[in-house]
Chains A and B, each alone.
Chain A
């Protein structure tokens, strides 16, 4: 496929956000795989293979896979890539497409409650329960800081507004409740075994 045609077809699906205009320059050198901590644990997760399949328009099977959810987003592949391909931005988009197609929900749904709390707090990682909050307040007061991070009501309200405006609330609320439990996977020789 000519490079220009390839670029058009990439923009059409795999790179809908148009962040990877150099993907077709992949040399297939495999440095990304050799440096990948996720591939080390799960050899069937292979970034080079995923890029090749995307370039060949054959990434459909990856959307259904467990493998694309292995990536830790450490971006070690990007550090080493001789062509400056930001692979994490590819895996990000593959995951969005997987979710749109109904796959991998079990990897997003566990974040729903957490994300909805961040929406209110303007902070991520703030504990939800009163016990957790008291613990944080105790530690912060003990070191002479304000009991709670100094974040204004205005900041929280605007964070919530952006959250809703950009459709995050709608997307999260559309997640089925029963997808909340991550799968318990079986491994055989480093590969994920799909049969129960």
Chain B
């Protein structure tokens, strides 16, 4: 236990990378394609090259936690995907807490169990891959924090006091070591929001799980997932949250897609849109609304966009 629990962004990135391996997220590119686009736009403005590899597949973590996959498959998939980044000599940046959590957890298991490393490598060797363990795994949000002052300098469309509730998502905070903030009470995203001109709102159930993980959305919807989401969204509404931001497209799916069903069950209105924090940053940086894919959202963002004068949709970079 010699690792540091909390590390500063500067310790994490003594040098800001010039290019990075952007790890495609299935939910981020299929359910909410605007997430991936927003990140690419932000990185472009920050002068960082995002490299995506068409040979990269799903991290396979979602169905692993649903117990539909056995770890052998996910260990092999992780080794294969990470070896792609190693070939390019780049570090991996995930923008989904799921990808981030599973990649780091499974890589940890591979690198600390010689038998698993041998197993994973023996399965991918015939395809011409080898996982050495040199690529480091980060979450894109860590980079936002590291480059917060650069982001602030680029603001073209301040958030006008927009009341933003943050949903951190479990699988970033669940890291025992090397995270950016206290996993028990994080506040770095709130800090980013204020620096962009928004008003962060600390609602009661801020750190509650979205309840969707592990696909309980398929099997446990009414009994387990909805009571969670109900108390979460209710507490957000009571604090006057106008928009929720996530760092995980999976959580975003739960918070956004389930609202109509929740309203039907409870007879109450929520109407709180949920977007990726990258999409909100991109809005603040003046990226054209059309590039951010809000059409994918179940709960519309019209009011939010009007409030920050982004409803005309123009690019004001």
A residues contacting B by CB (< 8 A) are 17-19, 37-38, 41-42, 69-76, 78-80, 84, 88, 92, 95-96, 99, 106-108, 110-112, 114-115, 118, 121-127, 136, 139-140, 142-145, 149-152, 154-156, 158-159, 161-163, 165-168, 171-172, 182, 185, 187
Task: Give Cα A167 to B69, complex, Å.
Answer: 9
- Could you say which of B11-19, B42-50, B149-157, B206-214 contacts chain A? B206-214
Asked whether B316 is an interface residue with its Cβ less than 8 Å from the other chain, the reply is no
Closest residue of chain B to A36, judged by CB? Answer: B209
B219 touches A182 (CB 8 A): yes
User: Is there contact, CB below 8 Å, between A74 and B73?
Assistant: no
A74 touches B67 (CB 8 A): no
Answer whether A152 and B54 are a contact pair too, CB < 8 Å, given A79-B183, A162-B124: yes
Instruction: Decide if A96 touches B70 in the complex (CB within 8 Å).
Output: yes
The contact of A115 among B63, B72, B173, B209, by CB within 8 Å, is B63
The answer, among B56, B66, B170, B228, for a CB contact under 8 Å with A151, is B56
Q: Contacts A75-B170, A95-B67, A112-B68 given: A140-B33 contact, CB under 8 Å?
A: yes
Are the C-beta atoms of B292 and A143 separated by less than 8 Å?
yes
Q: How far is the CA of A61 from the CA of B163 in the complex (A)?
A: 48
Query: In the complex, which of the residues A19, A79, A139 contacts B184, with contact meaning CB atoms closer than 8 Å?
Result: A79
A58–B26 CA distance with the chains assembled, in angstroms: 39
Q: Is the CB of B68 within 8 A of A123?
A: no
Find chain A residues with CB under 8 A from B113 CB: 18
B58 at the A/B interface (Cβ < 8 Å)? yes
- A142 near B123: Cβ-Cβ < 8 Å: no
Q: In chain B, residues 122-172, which have Cβ atoms closer than 8 Å to a Cβ of chain A?
A: 123-124, 127, 170-171
Nearest Cβ distance between residue A146 and chain B, in whole angstroms?
A: 10
Given the interface pairs A78-B176, A80-B184, A118-B63, the reply to whether A151 lies near B57 with Cβ below 8 Å is yes
**A-B CB contact pairs (8 Å), 19 listed:** A37-B211, A72-B216, A72-B228, A74-B171, A92-B64, A95-B67, A96-B70, A111-B63, A111-B215, A114-B63, A114-B218, A115-B63, A118-B63, A142-B290, A144-B291, A150-B54, A152-B54, A166-B70, A166-B73
Contact A106 B37 (CB under 8 A): no
State whether A84 and B54 are in contact (beta carbons under 8 Å apart), knowing that A72-B216, A123-B26, A139-B293 are contacts in the complex.
Answer: no
Nearest residue in A to B224 (C-beta to C-beta)? A41
**B36 beta carbon closer than 8 Å to chain A:** yes
Q: Contacts A124-B62, A126-B30 given; 4 further ones with Cβ under 8 A?
A: A92-B64, A125-B26, A151-B24, A162-B80
**What are the residues of chain A within 8 A of B124 when measuring CB–CB?**
162
Chain B interface, number of residues (Cβ within 8 angstroms): 66
Contact of A37 with B67 in the complex, beta carbons under 8 Å: no
| Beta-carbon contact of A115 and B58 below 8 Å | no
Q: Which residues of the other chain, A, contact B273 by a CB distance below 8 angstroms?
A: none
Looking at the complex, which one of A19, A111, A142 makes contact with B218 (CB distance below 8 Å)?
A: A111
Contacts of A136 in B (CB 8 A): 30, 33
A168 and B63 alpha carbons, distance in the complex (Å): 11
Interface string of B172-187 (1 = CB under 8 A from A): 0110100000011000
- CB-based contact B292/A124 at 8 Å: no
Counting CB contacts under 8 A, is B31 at the interface?
yes
User: Which of B29, B65, B72, B77 is in CB contact (< 8 Å) with A73?
Assistant: B65
Q: How far is the CA of A107 from the CA of B64 in the complex (A)?
A: 13
A112 to B113, CA, bound (A): 30
* A172 to B77 alpha-carbon distance, docked (Å): 18
Q: What 4 A-B pairs have minimum CB-CB distances, sorted nearest first?
A: A75-B174, A74-B170, A166-B73, A74-B209
Q: Once the chains are docked, how many angstroms separate the CA of A92 from the CA of B127?
A: 29
Q: B71–A17 contact, CB under 8 A?
A: yes
Interface pair A92/B65, CB less than 8 Å apart: yes
Q: Which listed residue (A122, A165, A185) contacts B58, Cβ 8 A?
A: A122
